[in-house]
Amino acid sequence: MTEPTTPSKRHVGWYPDPEGEAPLRWWDGTAWTGHTRDSYPVAGPAPGPVPPPRLPFGAARWALVGQVVAFAVAEVPILLLHLTLRAVNIGEVVGFYLILYGILFVTCRTGAQRFGNGDLRRDLGFELRWRDSYRGFGVYWLMGLAASVAVTPFAGSRFHGTNTQVLQHARPHLYAYLVVGGIAVLAAPIFEELLFRGLLLRGLLARMPTWAAVVVQAAIFSALHYNPALGIHNVTVVAAVFAMGIALGWSAIYFRHLGPGMVGHSLRNLTAVLYLLAR
């Protein structure tokens, strides 16, 4: 078959590898991917099921280290305030998230440089397209359905809880509530998707089947939402976050970038913010 010599957004398919590592490399319409082959397929440019984007397994280890460091550094001042029996104010909560997400972003940035090409879009799928608006709405509903199924067995039991304590703490003060709500709606979907569905998931794919990598990243995602202050109420929180992590992992694999998951994640958090505000 004859292939166009210059890739464009209209010509997704196999092309001579510009990096010279293999005879052919897959062009996804926007960038060269890591998928190579020795010859053109017999009919049509499509490669069949293209393997999901992945990074070396070291990227997953790097992501885990970054998570531990981020939570340790951000949590220490908050824990010290609790130990001294002093209430945590909104300014300190905002500082916590600035430190947390700042370290997560540095982890993703350095991870892309160490294990990829240093391009967050190409290495981690950090891209938002106009189609992601309605795709993200679908991911939002999938997240809600998954979470509902996960927590239904615990409905009305002593295991039922919520992880909206920060929003509830800020609710009496509208300005503080809008600041914390803005972090939940805008910052959390970007930095958490970059780390969990970008760096971590793509690193896990180097050693695991797709389904296993999705499950593992969701388990880690949910474990980091565990709150010691909630006790047994963590059961439904962790179950719901795990189920939503599965949906977000599927989105990253299916759409091959993070845009739909970021939109769905943002809409999910926005729902919680508006619900508490209206109560």
Mean pLDDT over the full length of the chain: 84
In three-state secondary structure terms, 15 is: strand
Q: Are strands 32-37 and 24-27 parallel, antiparallel or unpaired?
A: antiparallel
pLDDT in tens, 6-52: 555 446 677 888 877 778 877 766 677 767 777 665 555 454 556 77
- 118, 207 Cβ separation under 8 angstroms: no
- pTM of the entire predicted model: 0.80
Q: How far apart are CA 181 and CA 54, in angstroms?
A: 33
pLDDT in tens, 122-165: 899 999 999 999 999 999 999 999 999 999 988 777 777 677 77
In a 10 Å sphere around its CB, with 0-12 CB exposed, 13-18 middle and 19+ buried, how is residue 21 labelled? exposed
Q: How far apart are CA 227 and CA 225, in angstroms?
A: 6
Neighbouring C-beta atoms of residue 24, cutoff 10 Å = 19
* 3-state secondary structure string across 73-119: HHHHHHHHHHHCCCCCCHHHHHHHHHHHHHHHHHHHHHHHHHHCCCC
Q: H helices then E strands: how many in the chain?
A: 11, 3
